[in-house]
Amino acid sequence: MADAAPSDPTLTGYDMEHLVVYLRLLDAEADGADWRKVVQIVLEADPVKEPERAKRMWASHLARAQWMTEVGYRHLLQAGPN
């Protein structure tokens, strides 16, 4: 898992490989889950040993997941089924 999700204006290979991660982050956010527990389970980072890194990872990947719901999904639709 990268320390930061992509910020490209289009889908990347990383995005495609991490679609399930993005969905899990969105579900956890909707459920009001504590970010520390989410980052530990979903992103497999240690919020106790590396709190700053873990928080950045969580924030970056959650932001990308939210981008997917607003913009990125259009790229998936345009690509069609594989």
Q: What share of the chain in percent tops pLDDT 90?
A: 87
Q: Which pLDDT does position 81 carry in this prediction?
A: 64
Judge whether residue 30 has pLDDT over 70.
yes
Q: How does pLDDT run across 64-74, given as a tens digit for each residue? A: 999 999 998 88
Residue 27 confidence (pLDDT) above 80? yes
Residues in Cβ contact with 11 at an 8 Å cutoff, skipping those fewer than 6 apart = 72, 75, 76, 79
Q: State yes or no: pLDDT of 82 exceeds 70.
A: no
Instruction: Record the pTM.
Output: 0.92
Q: Residue 7, exposed/middle/buried by CB under 10 A (0-12, 13-18, 19+)?
A: exposed
Mean pLDDT of the chain: 94
